[in-house]
Every structure is written in structure tokens, then in C-alpha cells.
Amino acid sequence: MRQRFQQYASESDLTYAQARALVYVARNEGLRQVELAELLEVQPITLARLIDQLQAEGLVERRADPSDRRAHRLYLCAAATGPLKQIRAVGQQVYEQMLAGLDEEERSALQSALKLIRHNLIND
């Protein structure tokens, strides 16, 4: 999926990891960096570098956490609107290619099976 995303998003300056982080910030604005690292299943230092890059591009901003001065919360900047639209369009292309040939029943069964697998791995 990463390779296909990069192929379809060749005009974008964002890597797959940066795009993924940006989407998660969009879905979870105000999330602390450490919480986002957990969601993305990456080390906090890895996420810090990604956020540094997104912040340098003017796509996200860090704000001090009012309840913990050592922590930062993440928010989208207005400039993120265009890249997010592009990410969603590319994601839809990858999704459709990935599921080509599967009917709705097969797609639903696959989604259910993957959710169960994730649940099993998280709740061991």
C-alpha cells in the first residue's frame, strides 16, 4: 500500500508516513504527540521528526498542553486542507485498486476479519 500510495502521490511532497500522520492529526485534533505515536505504532522520536517536517511545511502546529508543560498537542493549520484532499483522493485510488474484484459481501467479510485480527492482537 505504501508503494502504491507513493506512486499515485508522486506530485506530492509528502511521504506515506507524513501523509498518515497528517490524516491522524486531522481525525484527532488536539491529541498529544505521545498519544499519536501510539496510534501510529511508531516511537515518539520518529513521530517528533514527522511532526517537525509537517510543521516546517505549515501543515500542523504544536501547542503547549495546558495540563502538562512538557507535552504538546497537535492541530491542523489551514494549509493542510489541500494536501488532505489529495491524500484522500490517492487513498481512494489505492483502496479501489486493492479491493478490485471483491464484491460487497467479500469486502465486508474482509473488513470484519481484519477488525477481529486487530482486536485479537491488541487484547492478547
Cα(66)–Cα(55) distance, rounded to whole angstroms?
A: 20
Q: Which residue's C-alpha cell is 495540563?
A: 67
- Residue 31 CA from chain centroid, whole number: 13
Partners of 69 in beta bridges: none
- Structural domain range at position 112: 2-122
Is the pTM higher than 0.95? The answer reads no
As for how many domains the chain has, the answer is 1
- Beta strands 60-65 and 68-76 are antiparallel
Nearest by Cα to 79 from 37, 26, 30: 26
Alpha carbons 62 and 124: distance in angstroms, whole number:
34
Q: Residue 51: which CATH number?
A: 1.10.10.10
d(CA 124, CA 119): 8
CA distance 36 to 60: 13
Among candidates 115, 112, 111, 118, which has minimal Cα distance to 95?
A: 111
Per-residue confidence in pLDDT tens, the chain, 124 aa:
778 877 777 777 888 889 999 999 999 999 999 999 999 999 999 999 999 999 999 999 999 999 988 889 999 999 999 999 999 988 898 889 999 999 999 999 999 999 999 899 988 6
